Amino acid sequence: MSKLKITDLKKSLKQLEHKELVQLITDLYKINHDVKDYLSVQFGGEEVLKDLFNNAKKKIQDEFFPDRGMPKMRLTEAKKAITEFKKIAGDSNQVIDLMLFYVEMGTEFTSAYGDIDLKFYNNMLSMFDKVAGACDRDELLYKELKDRLYSCVTMSYGIGWGYHDGLCEIYYSISWDIEEEEE
């Protein structure tokens, strides 16, 4: 089965009457969770986006520190929560906030439960590097997140596999005047 191309989709949609378009969108809303979230944000605004952000944050937290039961630590599920939110929110600072929260949870988890493995730490370092890169491009974002960034570095002290050193290297690569602000 070949998929419908965007140009063909647009042609087909232009041929539909208003009532048919409304029904099509309503049907999509009912059968697809991503469409429901997207349209809810489009028509519900910031309040809906805030709820979706909090839901994504909760999904990340639950992988490391669930309210009940043992942690599953499924990094793919935690990252999926970020990706799904990004689809709805676009490249917003809230996405960066979730990415940093992911690293915070991972760092806190390994502090609480002990060393994990190299793949885990490389995953955390990669996400931290993305956050630091965004902060390096946006001074206001850096100022908003600098305390949390630094907290990740200090919380990682003593963790194995070169994790602390990696976080330090990434953190101190941010071009804003970090040393001046910490004095």
Residue 141 lies in a domain: yes
pLDDT at residue 58, rounded to an integer: 98
Residues whose CB falls within 8 Å of the CB of residue 98, separated by 6 or more in sequence, listed in order: 53, 56, 57, 60, 81, 82, 85
The reported pLDDT for the residue numbered 123 is 97
Residue 2 lies in a domain: no
pLDDT tens for the 183 residues of the chain, in order:
789 999 999 999 999 999 999 999 999 999 998 899 889 988 988 899 999 999 999 999 999 999 999 999 999 999 999 999 999 988 789 999 999 999 999 999 999 999 999 999 999 999 999 999 999 999 999 999 999 999 999 999 999 899 999 999 999 999 986 555 454
Give residue 179's pLDDT: 55
pLDDT computed for residue 45 by the predictor: 83
Please list, in sequence order, all residues whose beta carbon lies within 8 angstroms of the beta carbon of residue 50, skipping any fewer than 6 positions away: none
Q: What is the pLDDT of residue 176?
A: 85
Within-domain flag for 82: yes
pLDDT of amino acid 178:
59
Angstrom distance (rounded) from CA 82 to CA 16:
35
In a domain, 3, yes or no: no
**Which residues form the domain of 157?**
18-182
Indicate whether 5 belongs to any domain.
no
Q: According to the model, what pLDDT value does residue 26 have?
A: 95
Structure confidence at residue 118 (pLDDT): 93
Scanning the chain, the segments in alpha helix (DSSP H) are 6-15, 18-31, 33-44, 46-64, 75-89, 93-113, 118-137, 139-155, 163-171, 178-182
Number of domains the chain is built from: 1
Report yes or no on 8 lying in a domain. no
Q: Is residue 109 part of a domain?
A: yes
Find, among 165, 170, 92, 98, the residue nearest to 132 by Cα: 170
